Structures are given as structure tokens and as C-alpha cells.
Amino acid sequence: MTRALVFQRNARWKTRARRTSAENNQSQGASAVTLEPAELTFTDVEAAAQRITGRVRPLTVARLGEVAGIAGDVFAGLEFLQYTGTFKARGAQNFLEAHRASGTLPKAGVTIASGGNAGLACAWAAGQQGIPATVFLPENAPRVKADRLHGYGADVRLIGHEYAEALAACHEFAAQSGALVSHAYDNPLIAAGAGTLMLELVAAQPELDTVVVSVGGGGLFAGIATVARQFGIRTIAVEPENCRALNEALTRGEVTEVPVNSVAADSLGARSVSETALRAAQHPLVESVLVPDDAIVNARRYLWAEHRLLVEHAAATAFAGLTHASGYRPDSGEKVAVVLCGANTDPSDVAV
């Protein structure tokens, strides 16, 4: 596809996005639109960017060039270089900054039930804010996770043998102590913070046609898709075949629980997506893609072997959405960016 044709298609996408927005406004009458709590807006992400500028690392964008089997010009958003190793630092900072600004950040600090990337980001952001962080984990959580949380200054509490038990303890602690409860993805402030990386991606590549991102609970996806549609950019939402909470929600037209079983389940293994993510995915500029685990493993190895980019399986899932036959196939000349969202991984299982 020539550059002119790419621009023409972008213009069509932008026209369609504006038309859809106008139709939605008309359907709600001439008065100002009242948004449901689950809806995320471009203004929300802009506000998040103002709050966290200088508190997180700016997104680094690298050109991968021609990738075997992909017709388009491929760029990578290296968000795994972010503090704590994932994009989660953005949402955690925005969440706490917004509560500080509104006077709702308690002296008891913040609490979360998460032994993964969200817990690390929450503990780190709390340290930056100078407030306590209490993180609840199941008793069988890997010791390395608890150790890293301790390293960020968190008060780590091991409760029960399942996440649900740790979550219940987290809420009980919040009720007793007055601590602020955070969530890994199902909060508009968390999603808006994550979406700030898309603002930086567009600034770095203003002629971008398509962005590819992996989906777990949907916070990162919702933030990115909200910004992307503002610029007429297509969003490709990639999930493992057996961690398909967003794809299933789109099929059913409502959020539903799904079983999870994937090599990327440690990061993408949410049993259901947020309502915010589902609403973002129902926009015509969003496409849902599923990839098998072997494609994820191969994509991760390719990124290391060919580009010396060491990422976790969640990030490789997005890249597999471009390289696998079931994924998105860019047109010739199309500018595509894939978000490599995290690198909290064991490097020993990546072949040199």
C-alpha cells in the first residue's frame, strides 16, 4: 500500500470514528453527554498525563523495520523499560496522585491484593508518595515476589491459598484501617494512567496506522484504545486462545468469566475483563485476535534472537498477534506499533 493510500484509509477511519461519536451524542439528546462510570474518555487520559509527567519514564519507541512475514513497517513501544518493569507504574502513579489531589489519600496508605506486576507497581508508587503500601498474597505465592515487594518497602501479608482469600483479607484490612484499595486493572484511574503511553506513542509516530496490545483484565487495552480512536488509529487486542476474557465478552455482549490456561496466564490470566475494556472494544476501530501458546513462545524467542529484546510472555503475546497466521495482517506500507508491555520474566528459558 502506498503512503497516500495509507493516509486515505486513516482518513476513512477518522471519519467513521467522528461519525460514530456524533451518532452516540445525538442518541442522548442535545444536552451534555453524561458518561457511565465504566466509560473512559480521552480527557481522562490527558489528565492522567498531566499528573504523572516526570514521575514515570517516557516511552521509548524503536523501529524494528521489516519483520519476516509482516508487510508493514513495524515499531515497538518498549514499555518494559518502565519503573518496576511494566506499564503498571503509570496507572499506580495516576491513582495515587489523583487521590492526593482530591484529598482522599489516607494516612493508612494503599492496599492491594496482587503478587504480580500490579502489586509491584502499587508498592513502588506508594514509596514515591511516601505512604505505606500493604500487599496481600496467597501463602503459596513464590518467595521471589514477596521479596521484591519487601524491596519496595511494602508490608507483605500472606493469607490463604487462593487469590480470592487474599482479596477478601485486603478488603477487610481496608475497612479496619481506612487504607485506600487499589486494583490491578478495574479502575478508571488505573486505565487512564496506562493510556498515557499511547499519547507518547502518537507523539513519537504521528503517522501511525495501527497499535497492537495484549489484553488481560483490560486496563492497558482500554487506555490505549481510548487514545487511539481519538486519532483514527486501529487497535488490535491480542489474547492467548485460552485466556480470552475480552474476546468472549465481545461474543456474548457482556462481561463473563472464562477459564484461564496459558503460558502468559501469570500476567494475562484475568477471568473477566472490566466493563471499561468491553466498552472500548465495541468501537469499530478495535479488532480482537487470539493466538496459541506456541506462537507466544516463538514470538518471545524471536524478539530476543533477532532484536535482543527480553520480554515476558504477556508482551510477546502482542507481538504474536502480528507474526502468527491467526493474527492481524498489516498492509504494505502500513505503520504498526506493538506495545511490549513488560519484562518481569525468567531469562533462563529464552534460547540464545
* pLDDT at residue number 66: 74
Do residues 11 and 135 share a domain?
no
Region at 130 (left for phi over 0; alpha for psi -120 to 50; beta for the rest): left
Region at 333 (left for phi over 0; alpha for psi -120 to 50; beta for the rest): left
Average pLDDT taken over every residue of the chain:
86
* pLDDT at residue number 215: 96
Do residues 83 and 94 share a domain?
no
- Give the residue numbers spanning the domain of 174: 88-181
Please state the pTM of the whole predicted model.
0.85
* pLDDT at residue number 28: 31
**Boundary (domain end) residue, out of 119, 153, 181:** 181
Average pLDDT over residues 304-331: 93
End-to-end Cα spacing for the chain: 35
Do residues 159 and 105 share a domain?
yes
Facing residues of 61 across strands? 77
Do residues 343 and 196 share a domain?
yes
Do residues 274 and 143 share a domain?
no
3-state secondary structure string across the chain: CCHHHHHHHHHHHHHHHHHHHHHHHHHCCCCCCCCCCCCCCHHHHHHHHHHHCCCCCCCCEEEEECCCCCCCEEEEEEHHHCHHHECHHHHHHHHHHHHHHCCCCCCCCEEEECCCHHHHHHHHHHHHHCCCEEEEECCCCCHHHHHHHHHCCCEEEECCCCHHHHHHHHHHHHHHHCCEECCCCCCHHHHHHHHHHHHHHHHHCCCCCEEEEECCCCHHHHHHHHHHHHCCCEEEEEEECCCCHHHHHHHHCCCCCCCCCCCCHHHHCCCCCCHHHHHHHCCCCEEEEEECHHHHHHHHHHHHHHHCCCCCHHHHHHHHHHHCCCCCCCCCCCEEEEEECECCCCHHHCCC
In this predicted model, what pLDDT tens digit does every residue of 71-113 receive, in sequence order?
888 999 999 999 999 999 999 999 999 999 999 999 999 999 9
Q: Pairing between strand 133-137 and 110-113?
A: parallel
Cell numbers placing 326: 491467526
pLDDT level of residue 33 (50, 70, 90 thresholds): very low
In this predicted model, what pLDDT tens digit does every residue of 277-292 receive, in sequence order?
999 999 999 999 999 9
Per-residue pLDDT for 251 more than 70? yes
C-alpha neighbours within 13 Å on the C-beta side of residue 2? 3
Q: d(Cα 121, Cα 154) in Å, to the nearest integer?
A: 11
Those residues with Cβ within 8 angstroms of residue 338's Cβ, 6 or more apart along the chain or in another chain: 74, 75, 76, 77, 211, 212, 213, 318, 319, 321, 322
In this predicted model, what pLDDT tens digit does every residue of 34-49 receive, in sequence order?
334 468 999 999 999 9
Do residues 106 and 143 share a domain?
yes
C-alpha neighbours within 13 Å on the C-beta side of residue 296? 26
Average pLDDT over residues 143-159: 89
* Strands of 335-340's sheet in order across: 61-65, 73-78, 335-340, 210-214, 234-240, 286-291
In this predicted model, what pLDDT tens digit does every residue of 51-78 receive, in sequence order?
999 999 999 999 997 787 788 889 999 9
* pLDDT at residue number 2: 34
Do residues 170 and 306 share a domain?
no
Do residues 162 and 33 share a domain?
no
- pLDDT above 90 coverage of the chain, percent: 70
Those residues with Cβ within 8 angstroms of residue 175's Cβ, 6 or more apart along the chain or in another chain: none
Do residues 46 and 107 share a domain?
no
Do residues 92 and 79 share a domain?
no
pLDDT level of residue 146 (50, 70, 90 thresholds): confident
Q: For the chain, how many structural domains are there in total?
A: 2
Per-residue pLDDT for 140 more than 80? no
**Boundary (domain end) residue, out of 130, 146, 181:** 181
pLDDT level of residue 352 (50, 70, 90 thresholds): low
* pLDDT at residue number 1: 35
* pLDDT at residue number 22: 35
CB 163 within 8 A of CB 136: no
**Boundary (domain end) residue, out of 159, 181, 203:** 181
Do residues 170 and 278 share a domain?
no
CB 202 within 8 A of CB 77: no
Average pLDDT over residues 128-150: 87
Do residues 224 and 119 share a domain?
no
Query: At 120, which CATH number?
Result: 3.40.50.1100
